[in-house]
Chains A and B, each alone.
Chain A
């Protein structure tokens, strides 16, 4: 555990001593801020109109009309920016030869993989945490359901954790950061469009594709539903990604 934390600490330091983490976080916050602003602005104008009619007023729901679309937008932005966060994790070590230091130290490959994963998770948590500041406005001027918001954030975190595991895996495959980012992005996009394919798929394939699609599971969570099926999906996704990473590193040394 101590070793995992040492690796994670080093990775976090590296993130914040280079411009990558700042750029990723800044772009993420800027885009999320924009989407939040426009969703809130639209909600506002709708509310003013609905104020004429008590029936419409009942239909106005800040969780459904602001947060649900916001969470969907955030998961697309995560798909775009998280590969940039994970691309260097193993590629850079391999390229600069520092992997020789790590793998000749008395720590296990599992601990190294988990340490790097943990570091990326912490940056992800910080990114999501900072967007929480936006909610100050919605709580100050409205009364959204907090449990639904937290559930949405949990969903985003799990989704991000799965993305990062994919990114870590591709980073272990190549010495080139750009290639690592592109492969990660491609793989995530593929999991995204698998969900679309399920609409036209026949029979059992519909269910299979639906289950495999990474975003189908996210949908429920934005609606405030916390299903163990979704939890299991994300956790096994992350586990599988890290397991493959471990195998790649081990097999490369044995080749």
Chain B
């Protein structure tokens, strides 16, 4: 549904997005994950036709974002980072205006409005002025305006930012409920958001792609490596031999004084290994988990390390 190929965006000297490629399949929720200033907003602005890219290609629903911007804009609903609201309008006036400029035919505008209001839970505030409603409702109005023309693709830039925990849960549920009819790409710098709402993730940092794939794929590839790394003061040979006898150990190797032990998924041997090291007097100096999950990967990326 969304395909991005070698996308690059430069603001003068500053490179915001560098050679980025990824794809999102139809009917999925995909997360664009990265720390602040990673290039998430820029990528979304390019996809929605707000900004042109310096190089590269992007297609949405088979339409080229640069060649056929109007076709793309028709099938995309976009919630920018700052919700684009007119404070002096009422909620329903505002949504009506958005429906009109998104080319919803006049005859269908009423039903589109009712549908958007119902889905995003805005009945209570539909006659209120936008400036007088709470932050949570404003965010909902933002989502309602993005989906008013029933777009195939929803692009949501930080949809839960600045909300309280209860509102975050509500908005996440709202987004999940839209999954069936829409392909959704949302950006966030919070990992939990991705693991709780998304089917897949594109992790970027400083404009570069770090990792991408479905959550299952990524998790599976990390989980194979479950295990730990030991650093001992003495008796390395004995330790390797003894540890190899523990039931469930799949692989054991020694490298520069570090011994790494791997085992099958779910068979946690941390405590067994620790007890043995102390009892046998190997001089346990350090013990760290080899287990890699998305969180570890993300932290490594955020702290400036390399990706996969």
Q: Which residues from chain B contact A38 at a C-beta distance below 8 Å?
A: none
1/0 per residue, CB under 8 A from A, across B11-51: the answer is: 11000000000000000000000000000000001001111
Q: Are B80 and A97 in contact, CB atoms less than 8 angstroms apart? A: yes
- Would you list which residues of chain B between 56 and 96 have a CB under 8 Å from chain A? 70-71, 73-74, 76, 78, 80-86, 88-89, 93
Q: Which one of A6, A103, A106 contacts B50 once the chains associate, using CB atoms below 8 Å? A: A103
Could you tell me the distance between the alpha carbons of A75 and B214 in the complex, rounded to whole angstroms?
66
Q: Are B80 and A101 in contact, CB atoms less than 8 angstroms apart? A: yes
* B102: interface (CB < 8 Å): yes
Q: Which of B50, B52, B82 has the most CB of A within 10 A?
A: B50
Could you tell me the distance between the alpha carbons of A234 and B83 in the complex, rounded to whole angstroms?
39
Q: Are A254 and B52 in contact, CB atoms less than 8 angstroms apart? A: yes
Q: Which residues from chain A contact B163 at a C-beta distance below 8 Å?
A: none
* A126: interface (CB < 8 Å): no
Q: Are B78 and A104 in contact, CB atoms less than 8 angstroms apart? A: yes
| CB closest residue in chain B, given A98 | B84
* B2: interface (CB < 8 Å): no
Q: Are B11 and A255 in contact, CB atoms less than 8 angstroms apart? A: yes
Q: Which residues from chain B contact A254 at a C-beta distance below 8 Å?
A: 52
* A107: interface (CB < 8 Å): yes
Nearest chain A CB to B270 CB, angstrom units: 49
Q: Which of A17, A97, A101, A106 has the most CB of B within 10 A?
A: A101
Could you tell me the distance between the alpha carbons of A18 and B88 in the complex, rounded to whole angstroms?
7
Q: Are B85 and A98 in contact, CB atoms less than 8 angstroms apart? A: yes
Q: Are A13 and B52 in contact, CB atoms less than 8 angstroms apart? A: no
Q: Which one of A96, A106, A255 contacts B74 once the chains associate, using CB atoms below 8 Å? A: A106
Q: Are B70 and A98 in contact, CB atoms less than 8 angstroms apart? A: no
Q: Which residues from chain A contact B83 at a C-beta distance below 8 Å?
A: 97
* A74: interface (CB < 8 Å): no
Q: Which residues from chain A contact B48 at a C-beta distance below 8 Å?
A: 104
Q: Which residues from chain A contact B80 at a C-beta distance below 8 Å?
A: 97, 100-101, 104
1/0 per residue, CB under 8 A from A, across B144-174: the answer is: 0100000000000000000000000000000
Could you tell me the distance between the alpha carbons of A233 and B81 in the complex, rounded to whole angstroms?
44
Could you tell me the distance between the alpha carbons of A255 and B13 in the complex, rounded to whole angstroms?
11
1/0 per residue, CB under 8 A from B, across A22-41: the answer is: 00000000000000000000
Q: Are A106 and B103 in contact, CB atoms less than 8 angstroms apart? A: yes
Q: Are B52 and A253 in contact, CB atoms less than 8 angstroms apart? A: yes
1/0 per residue, CB under 8 A from B, across A186-201: the answer is: 0000000000000000
Q: DSSP class of B's interface residues: helix, strand, loop or mixed?
A: loop
* B98: interface (CB < 8 Å): yes
* A236: interface (CB < 8 Å): no
Nearest chain A CB to B224 CB, angstrom units: 42
* A105: interface (CB < 8 Å): yes
Nearest chain B CB to A223 CB, angstrom units: 43
Could you tell me the distance between the alpha carbons of A254 and B93 in the complex, rounded to whole angstroms?
32
Could you tell me the distance between the alpha carbons of A133 and B11 in the complex, rounded to whole angstroms?
55
Q: Which residues from chain B contact A7 at a C-beta distance below 8 Å?
A: 101
Q: Which of A10, A17, A96, A105 has the most CB of B within 10 A?
A: A105
Q: Are A100 and B78 in contact, CB atoms less than 8 angstroms apart? A: yes
Q: Are A100 and B84 in contact, CB atoms less than 8 angstroms apart? A: yes
Nearest chain B CB to A122 CB, angstrom units: 17
Q: Are B89 and A6 in contact, CB atoms less than 8 angstroms apart? A: no
With A101-B98, A102-B101, A254-B52 as given contacts, are A13 and B82 in contact (CB-CB < 8 Å)?
A: no
Q: Which residues from chain B contact A102 at a C-beta distance below 8 Å?
A: 101
Could you tell me the distance between the alpha carbons of A93 and B71 in the complex, rounded to whole angstroms?
24
Q: Which residues from chain B contact A44 at a C-beta distance below 8 Å?
A: none
Q: Are B50 and A104 in contact, CB atoms less than 8 angstroms apart? A: yes
* A3: interface (CB < 8 Å): yes
| CB closest residue in chain B, given A104 | B48
Could you tell me the distance between the alpha carbons of A73 and B76 in the complex, rounded to whole angstroms?
51
* A14: interface (CB < 8 Å): yes
Q: Are A97 and B82 in contact, CB atoms less than 8 angstroms apart? A: yes
| CB closest residue in chain A, given B73 | A106
| CB closest residue in chain B, given A102 | B101
Nearest chain B CB to A1 CB, angstrom units: 13
Q: Are B85 and A104 in contact, CB atoms less than 8 angstroms apart? A: no
Q: Are B11 and A6 in contact, CB atoms less than 8 angstroms apart? A: no
Could you tell me the distance between the alpha carbons of A158 and B52 in the complex, rounded to whole angstroms?
37
Nearest chain B CB to A82 CB, angstrom units: 21
Q: Are B86 and A104 in contact, CB atoms less than 8 angstroms apart? A: no
Binding site for B on A (CB under 8 A): 3, 6-7, 10, 13-14, 17-18, 96-107, 253-255
Q: List 7 A-B contacts (CB under 8 A).
A: A13-B88, A14-B89, A17-B89, A101-B80, A101-B101, A104-B76, A104-B80
Across chains A and B, which 3 residue pairs bring their CB atoms closest together, nearest first?
A101-B84, A97-B82, A98-B84
Q: A100-B78, A100-B82, A107-B103 are in contact. List 4 more A-B contacts (CB 8 A).
A: A10-B86, A13-B93, A100-B80, A105-B103
